Chains A and B, each alone.
Chain A
Amino acid sequence: EAQVTQNPRYLITVTGKKLTVTCSQNMNHEYMSWYRQDPGLGLRQIYYSMNVEVTDKGDVPEGYKVSRKEKRNFPLILESPSPNQTSLYFCASSLPGSSREQYFGPGTRLTVT
């Protein structure tokens, strides 16, 4: 089944404790992206990757890191999480092109206390 998977689905952590949210897709998509979704604000792009070893900042990259060592994986790293990073996070993948349909993962709900 074609899908984007994320782990963990739920995470409660404390300020400053490094964490990684994994994302994997099995559709051989070049483009992958991370978003955060907050009430009243919509999805906002954190980082994106056009292909392996190519990553770039989105609209809200502060406090986040990513890597793209393999085509299928695109982990999101929070080196020192803070409470304002409490949010719902989505990973997405797609083929390249302006009309590309993004396939979203199931989401990771992160709470930082």
Chain B
Amino acid sequence: KNQVEQSPQSLIILEGKNCTLQCNYTVSPFSNLRWYKQDTGRGPVSLTIMTFSENTKSNGRYTATLDADTKQSSLHITASQLSDSASYICEYDMRFGAGTRLTVKP
């Protein structure tokens, strides 16, 4: 069983809408959590990194939250654009989730 679980597996939204992706982890509690964006045919690129003491971190239209007590993180995308279509991967303590495939339609 993967120690980092992401949901949903895939998501389709209309351009301009918001969405939230989830990440739950079961590994050791004191580490960093990172979100990556992976465009089709390319390697993952870091979006945000959060330490266990941080609750929220933003990077433009991307906002990540972390609840170290419940071992949950979320990535919220505001005012989605077609270029947001990609897989979003959560990493905790060098363990990667399977990713959420986001498709933004016009």
Q: What residues make up the interface of A, taking CB atoms closer than 8 Å to B?
A: 4, 35, 39-45, 90, 92, 98-99, 101-102, 104-107
Verify A42–B2 contact, CB threshold 8 A. Answer: yes
Chain A residues lying within 8 Å of B31, measured Cβ to Cβ, are 98
Verify B89–A43 contact, CB threshold 8 A. Answer: yes
| Interface flags, B59-93, vs A, CB<8A=1, else 0 | 00000000000000000000000000000010100
Task: Tally B residues with Cβ within 8 Å of A.
Answer: 20
> From residue A62, how far is it (CB to closest CB) to chain B in Å?
19
Chain A residues lying within 8 Å of B99, measured Cβ to Cβ, are 42
Q: Chain B CB within 10 Å — which of A40, A43, A45 has the most? A: A43
Report the tally of A-B residue pairs with Cβ distances under 8 A. 42
A97 to B45: give the CA distance in the assembly, Å: 18
> From residue B73, how far is it (CB to closest CB) to chain A in Å?
15
A43 to B4: give the CA distance in the assembly, Å: 11
- Please judge, given known A-B contacts A98-B32, A99-B32, whether A42 and B97 are in contact too, CB under 8 Å: yes
Verify A4–B43 contact, CB threshold 8 A. Answer: yes
A35 to B4: give the CA distance in the assembly, Å: 16
Chain B residues lying within 8 Å of A41, measured Cβ to Cβ, are 2, 98
Q: What residues make up the interface of B, taking CB atoms closer than 8 Å to A?
A: 2, 4, 31-32, 34, 41-46, 49, 51, 89, 91, 94, 96-99
Q: Chain B CB within 10 Å — which of A35, A104, A106 has the most? A: A104
> From residue B64, how far is it (CB to closest CB) to chain A in Å?
14
Verify A99–B43 contact, CB threshold 8 A. Answer: no
| Interface CB pairs A-B, < 8 A, 8 | A35-B96, A42-B99, A44-B96, A98-B31, A98-B32, A101-B46, A106-B42, A107-B43
| A44 (CB) vs chain B CBs: closest residue | B96
